[in-house]
Amino acid sequence: MNNLIQNYELILTELTKICSHIISFKQIRQPKLSDLELVALNLTAEYMSYNSELQLFRAIKGTYLDAKIERSVYNKRRRKFFDYTEKIRQRLSEKFSHLSNLFIIDSTPIEICKISRAKRSS
């Protein structure tokens, strides 16, 4: 069991407590991975800074999640559930908003503008 699975299970238990009122989309063929499980996997991947599907599916390989979803299906459903994921994010933020008025976000700085002619102009 790797770190991804442990984090996934923690996030999934919290989501089932918080988001029981959110209904799933109806599908013709019943998927092996429920909508809430898919969103939990997506949030876990974001939490663990997996930027690509390849990185996520390498971490999933050999676990019980490997048999539940394929890459192409994951990507299609993940895009389809964007609004669903945003509702869940709002519910999570409501849960944490009463705890503190101050939040610290740790992110990687990204260079937006690059001065390309700085060396030539001096």
The CA-atom distances, in angstroms, between 94 and each of 36, 87, 99, 100 are: 18, 11, 10, 11
Distance between CA atoms of residues 36 and 15, nearest Å: 7
Count of C-beta atoms within a 10 Å radius of residue 32: 12
Q: For tokens 């994921």, what's the residue?
A: 85
What's the residue count for the chain? 122
Angle 35-14-42 (CA atoms, 0-180°, nearest 5)? 45
Q: How far apart are CA 10 and CA 66, in angstroms?
A: 18
Q: What is the pTM for the complete model shown?
A: 0.70
**pLDDT in single tens digits along all 122 residues of the chain:** 458 889 899 988 988 888 766 666 666 777 788 888 888 899 888 888 888 888 888 889 888 988 888 888 888 888 888 888 888 888 777 776 666 666 667 677 667 666 666 666 65
Burial (CB count within 10 angstroms: exposed 0-12, middle 13-18, buried 19+), residue 111:
exposed
